[in-house]
Structure formats: C-alpha cells, structure tokens
Amino acid sequence: MPRAILPLLLLLLLLGAADAAWARTLTATIARVTTPVASLEGVEMRVHWPAGAAEGELQLRAARVDAPDLGYRFRDVDWRCPLRRDGQGWRCDGQVRQQRGAPLRLALALAPRMANVDASLSAAGGGGPPRLAVHYDRAAPDITRIDLAAVPVAWAQALASQAWSAGRFSAGTLDGTVRVHAPRDGPLHVQAPLTLDGVGFDTADGSMAGEGLDAELRIDWRALAAGPRITVDGALRGGELLFGNAYVALPAHPVAVHVALQGGADGWTVPAFSASDPGALEVSGHAALAGDGAVHSLDLSLRSDAVAALPERYLSGWLGIAGLTGLTLEGALSAELALRDGSLHALALRPVTLDVAAPDGRFAFHGLDGELRIVADGSADSALGWRGGALGDIAFGPARLPWRSRDGRLALREPVRVALLGGELALSGLSLALPRDGRGMEMEGAVAVEALDMASLAKALGLPAFPGTLSGVIPRMHYAAERLAFDGGLSMRAFDGEVRVSSLAMERPFGVAPTLSADIVLDGLDMQSLTGVFDFGSISGRLHGQVLGLRLVDWQATGFDAELHTEARRGVRQRISQRAVQNISSVGDASFVTSLQGQLLAVFDDFGYRRIGISCRLANGVCAMAGLHPRGAGFAIVEGAGLPRLDIVGYNRNVDWETLVERLAAVGSGDVAPVFD
C-alpha cells in the first residue's frame, strides 16, 4: 500500500465515528503497509466510540514493523490510546508495547486533511524528557523530521549497529534533530546534528570502550546500494576511549574530528579521517577495515609541536604495557605510519630537540634529533642522534646513529662509539626488526666496553668507590619476547685481579620488575685493597670464588649460589685484623676460638690465617650458609695459622637474607664495634 493509504483510512474511520450518535466499533485489517522507511505486516486497527461520548478509543496492532536501513525491527506492537478531537484535527495519546521491550508513551496528532502528522515517543510515565518527536508534512512527503530531547543513546543502538555490529551503548543521552529523506526513487538519506552527553559504550570482548564522552557531531548517512556512506564531523570534549592497547583521555577543550566511512561487502573503507587537539596533536589519514574491525591498511600522519601532553592523553595505554607509566616528553615530533594487513609497511619518525625521561630515572635521552625510517620493501637511509642521556645515574655522551632499513629490518650502517664513564661503549652489527606477523620486536648486535672507570661506575650505583677498569666484548646480544640475552661475557680488572661475568640475560629490561641473571667468577682479587674500600677491616691475601645462578628481580637479589675462598700465593702474606675478625663474626653469627685466652686478643693487631672460606645459597629469602668444612655443630670460616692461632666458626646455617644485608650495611658504615668474649 502507498504510505498515504494508512493514515487516510484511519482518518475516514475517525470521521465516520465522530458524528455517530450511537455506539459504533469499526475495524480494519491490512496485510502489509510499505513505505521507503519501514514496512508493517499483520496490521489491525480498531476504533470504538461509545454512544454520546466525547472521546473514543483507538487500538493499533502490528505483527511486524521493520526498518532495515535503520536497523529497527519490532514484533507484536500494540498501541492503545483515547481518541479526541483537536480543533479540526485529531489527537491520540497512550502506551505502546512491543515484544521484549519496555512500554513507552506514543502521542499522535493529525491535522485536518492529513496536512501534518506529529508523533512523539517518551517514557511511559509522561511526555517529558527523554522525548523523541516525529513530524511529517504532506507538502514535503519525502522528508520526516525527528527531534531528540535527552534521548538515551541506547535508543539509537539498532541504527548504530548498522555501522558497528559489535558496539553496545551503556550510558549517555542525545539531543538534536534528525532529518530522514526517503524519496521513492532514491536512497535513504539521514542528516543529524547531535549533541552527546556522558556517552558510554563497549564491546563484548572489551577491546573497545568509551566513558563520559561529550560531543557536538554532524552525521550524514546515505544508504547506497553498494553499502552505507557515513560522514561524521564535529568535536569531542572530555571523556575516555579505549581501542585495544590505546587509551585516550580527552581534554576538556574541543578536539575537532572528521571521519568518512564507506561500507561494502568486505568491510569498510575510510577515505579520510582527522583529529585536531590544538598544539598537542594533529592526526590525519585513511584506512580500510575488515567487517570484524581488523585493519587491512592504514596510512597515518601525525604532528605534535608540544609533546608534553601526549603521555597522559594518548600514550598511557602503551606505556603501561611497557612498564613506562610516568614517562615524560619535551620537544616536538612528527611521524608517518603505514600498515598493511596488520603489519608495519613504512615508518618515518622525526623528533625535534626531543627529551625523553623514563619514570624513576631509569633512562633519559636529551636532544633527540634527525629521522628514523623503516620500510618493508626496498631500502631507506636515515640518521638519528642525541646530545646526551643516562641509564639510571650512569651518564653517556652524544652520538649519531646512521641507520639503513631494508625489507623491514633496521640496521646500523657503521659502528657507533659513545663516551661512557671515562671510557667508551661501542655498538656494531646492531639491527632491529619491529613487531610483524604476530611477532614482537627483535634486536641483535655486538657490544664492547673499553676502559670504563670502575670508581665512577661504583659511585653511580651507590657503592663505595674502588679502583679499576671494566673492559669486555659481547660478540652477540639478542632481544626477543621481552628477554635480552648476551653471548660471551665481560671482564673487569679490579683490585689487581679479574672479575668475569657470563650467561648474562635480562627479562623485561624496559618493563615492570626487570630481571637480571648472570654467573660471576672472581680470580685473584687483592683482599687488602678490597676490604679497605669497603671499610671491613684489613685482610691480606688473594680472593677467589664464584656467584652462580645470580638472579635479580627489580634489582633485588632473589637467588644465587655463592662461594668465596682464599688461595695462598707465594710472596703474599695472609693476615686478618681484629676488626675484620669481629665483622666476620657479627655478619655470620660466628664465634672465634684461639690458642690464648680471649682477654689477650686485644694485645694483637692482626692474626695469621691459613684459609678463609664461606658460601651462601640464597632461595626463598633464606641464605643457607657453609664454610671451609664442618666444625662440630658448625662450620669453619677462618682457619688460623701460627701464634696466636685464631679460628672463626659459624653456627647459624640458615640466615634471613634481609637480616644478612642489614648486617653487611652496618659493617660498611662502621656501626659494629669490636666485642671480645
């Protein structure tokens, strides 16, 4: 039936009943009503007007109401209302119910000769907000106007699902006017300037969400044969957005947005999109999306003239995953990014006097400048440099890294040397592969350190200053799956001996709770120099040993198997001072026995010894102690030699690690006073 037949038939029924002096009931059954916007099936109308009454009752039922272009489908619709005269027209206002839906209030006003039709839908309790009003003018039969006043955004769920089937609206209201143009010989066209207040949405898998969004938007929707074409222009103001790992905290001032979408059988194309947060971020680009939202292709350009706002507003999601919450930026930045089938196709990054500082002083780069380019096909050269920086309290000098990208991999074109701790750090063969095809970032290369000043390193690490230099070569380091592993080892010349580090690896080096593991071997360290640096008391001799399976979590020791001992060397005296004796005893819960009475010990400044040995196996916060060999109920730590002969024996085989560290700290600070038994 043409769209005018239904209201015309209703009007005839009303006019016939209005002048009747006796009770009359009129009914009409219509198989199908079709309009360009919607179709109705199984329609039944009933008008009952009691004799002599001032009003009657209208009941309208429809088994199905479908508006496929708008996404609305209703079943078992039932509307009942009291029918009254309104001047020369008619008015009916009552509850409308549908299957699986809450009741609403529908009011209908018909002008004389059907010149205008006005309908409003509101909450069942009354005609106040929220309210949706529809106006039809016979003079413009192809246009329907819909006025929205504080309408719950959930009412637009079906319409929104036409473009985004996975989205679910949970909160917020809409205000504005929607114009629906439905010509007989053309596509449906919807125009809607809307105001959004406190809108919230999410998806079932939690990958996308929004909360507290305020916006002024202009929406243009055309239902074309190839698929809907949608354009959105306007501004966002405040609220939060989550897209995968990207979290956005929008500022209170307007952020201008533009999005153009074209639907199709295989998904959506985005011919253009842009966003402008003045001063902080300018973004533009185009994309192609699959029906499930997966990115087929993306071309993105961005520029920030003041990057300080980026971490809090736009980067906190990614920074949190990397363990860099609290990272600060200063300076400017621009970039171009291209993705193809979810993988990086090209990247150009251009920092301008950019300063980067990680939280808790973990690392910093000052004055980043230049360009970094990565291409998946072909090759491209670039160079990126900095004025200086630091790893923790260890400062490093300026450098410029010349890069070459070939087929998605980034590699140094030549070795790079960086001033560090009075020596140099040399990088060679360094190459990076950024995340692609489901794999995370990978890195490999070689690193060497030459003549690093150990006194400066110790100071940076908060340790007592001690002499020596650190040199070594790691022929290959490899980073993958958040683990940095080193082949080869480092060799440190210190205290006239050597310290060798091997099996070095780090997990989550740039993330939360970084973990370091290593094996350490000590070879022939001069104990007199070593104990002098740590203010332990004087011990002469040569120290050997090893620390195997060392594991540090967030730079705190959680496990190792350590053993330290002395070895006699021709021409090297082996003596231990009274203070060292007392410190060994206090740290290890040990006691000493001598060939003389204890009160005579104060007469001697030091004692000869034959051997010193102690070990600790740390697990679950407890250090399992041992020494040179069992000695009664304990274990020997020091075997004396000569007269007076002094032996030190430990008795506590299990020592709380934190307690042991506190004792060592007390010894180093000189808080332990000699006590003789």
Could you tell me if residue 131 is inside a domain? no
Q: Residue ranges of the alpha helices (H) in 488-605? A: 527-533, 578-587
For residues 384 and 403, the answer to whether their CB atoms sit within 8 Å is: yes
Instruction: Please answer whether residues 383 and 402 qualify as being in contact, where contact means their C-beta atoms are separated by less than 8 angstroms.
Output: yes
Whether cis (ω within 30° of 0) applies to the bond prior to 278 is: no
- In this structure, the answer to whether residues 2 and 108 fall within a common structural domain is yes
Could you tell me if residue 245 is inside a domain?
yes
Q: Domain range for residue 44?
A: 1-124
Per-residue model confidence (pLDDT) at position 412: 96
Give this prediction's pTM: 0.70
Count of the separate structural domains present in the chain: 3
Residues 6+ apart with CB under 8 A from 206: none
Same structural domain, 155 and 50: no
- φ and ψ of 344, to 5 deg: -65, 125
Which has more pLDDT, 260 or 224?
Answer: 260
DSSP state of 205: T
Query: For the chain, how big is the Rg over CA atoms in Å?
Result: 40
Percent of the chain whose predicted confidence (pLDDT) is above 70: 87
Of 157-171, 381-395, 635-649, give the lowest mean pLDDT range: 157-171
Higher pLDDT, 424 or 491: 424
The pLDDT tens digits of the residues spanning 141-190 come to 778 888 888 888 877 766 666 556 666 888 899 899 989 888 878 888 99
| Domain shared by 147 and 215, yes or no | yes
pLDDT of residue 473: 82
Rounded Cα distance between 263 and 328, Å, is 40
Of the residues 207, 241, 264, which one is the last residue of a structural domain? Answer: 264
* 624 phi and psi angles, rounded to 5 deg: -85, 110
Phi, psi torsion values for 120, nearest 5 degrees: -135, 140
Give mean pLDDT, residues 277-285.
95
* Residue 608 maps to a domain: no
Contacts of 543 (CB under 8 A, 6+ apart): 497, 522, 524, 525, 526, 527, 530, 564, 565, 566
pLDDT confidence band for 118 (50 / 70 / 90): confident
Q: Which residue has the higher pLDDT, 358 or 537?
A: 358
Q: Are 550 and 617 in contact (CB under 8 A)?
A: no
Q: What is the mean pLDDT of residues 567-587?
A: 85
Q: Name 284's bridge partners.
A: 274, 301
How does residue 5 score in pLDDT terms, banded at 50, 70 and 90? very low
On average, the pLDDT of the chain sits at 84
Q: Give whole-number Cα distances, 176 to 149, 201, 217, in Å.
A: 7, 20, 10
Rounded to an integer, what distance in angstroms lies between the CA atom of residue 405 and that of residue 415? 16
Instruction: Supply the DSSP string of 49-62, one letter for each residue.
Output: E-TT-S-EEEEEEE
- Cα separations (Å) of 268 from 206, 294, 297? 21, 10, 11
**Alpha helices of 163-245 — where are they, by DSSP H?**
none
Does residue 111 sit in helix, strand or coil?
Answer: coil
644 upstream amide cis, omega within 30 of 0: yes
Report, as an integer, the average pLDDT of 305-325: 91
Greater confidence, 50 or 8? 50
652's tokens: 């506590």
588-612 pLDDT tens trace: 555 555 444 454 455 667 889 999 9
pLDDT of residue 220: 95
Q: Higher confidence at residue 459 or residue 552?
A: 552
Q: Is residue 655 part of a domain?
A: no
Six-digit token string for 24 = 């009359």
pLDDT at 599: 47
Let me know if residue 73 belongs to a domain. yes
Choose from 218-222, 461-465, 487-491 the range with maximum mean pLDDT.
Answer: 218-222
Give 671 or 268, the one with higher predicted confidence.
Answer: 268
pLDDT at 658 over 50: yes
Structure confidence at residue 271 (pLDDT): 96
User: Residue 559: what are its φ and ψ, rounded to 5°?
Assistant: -170, 145
Residues 104 and 5 grouped into a single domain: yes
The answer to whether residues 119 and 146 belong to one domain is no
Q: What are phi and psi of 528, to 5 degrees?
A: -65, -40
DSSP state at residue 358: -
Q: CA-to-CA distance for 29 and 109, rounded, in angstroms?
A: 22
Is the domain of 2 the same as that of 117?
Answer: yes
Residue from 172, 117, 166, 169 nearest 140 by CA: 117
Name the residue with higher pLDDT: 403 or 83: 403
Is 662 domain-assigned?
Answer: no
Q: What angle do the packed helices 578-587 and 657-668 form, to 10 degrees?
A: 160
pLDDT at position 114 is 61
User: Hunting for tokens 């219509």 — which residue is that?
Assistant: 30
The model's confidence at residue 643, banded by pLDDT at 50, 70 and 90, is confident
Shared domain check, 161 and 84: no
Distance CA 643, CA 637 (A): 18
5 and 110 part of one domain:
yes
How many whole angstroms separate alpha carbon 313 and alpha carbon 251?
A: 7
Tell me if 236 sits within 8 A of 254, measured CB to CB. Answer: yes
Residue 153's pLDDT is 83
Q: Which residues have C-beta within 8 Å of that of residue 598, sequence separation ≥ 6?
A: 676, 677
Residue 238 is encoded by which pair of tokens? 């405040």
Look at 205 and 41; give whichever has higher pLDDT: 41
Which of 124, 158, 180 marks a domain boundary?
A: 124
Question: So what's the pLDDT on residue 3?
Answer: 40
Amino acid at 649: V
Task: Look up residue 673 and give its DSSP letter.
Answer: P
Specify the pLDDT at position 16. 46
Task: Give, for 178, the enclosing helix (H) or strand (E).
Answer: strand 167-181
One domain for residues 3 and 103: yes
pLDDT tens readout for residues 61-77: 999 888 776 566 788 88
pLDDT cut 90: percent of the chain above it: 41
Q: Of 69, 95, 124, which residue constitutes the final position of a domain?
A: 124
Tens-digit pLDDT profile for residues 485-543? 888 777 777 888 999 998 999 988 766 788 999 999 999 999 988 888 877 789 999 99
Are both 91 and 30 inside the same structural domain?
A: yes
Q: Do 148 and 174 belong together in one domain?
A: yes
What distance in Å separates the CA atoms of residue 493 and residue 450, rounded to the nearest whole number?
11
* Residue 642, in any domain of the structure: no
Q: Which whole number is the average pLDDT over 80-93?
A: 86
Examine residue 72 and state whether it is found in any structural domain, yes or no.
yes
Q: Which has the closest alpha carbon to 597: 634, 641, 640, 644?
A: 644
Can you tell me the distance from the alpha carbon of 248 to that of 659, in angstroms, rounded to the nearest whole number? 45
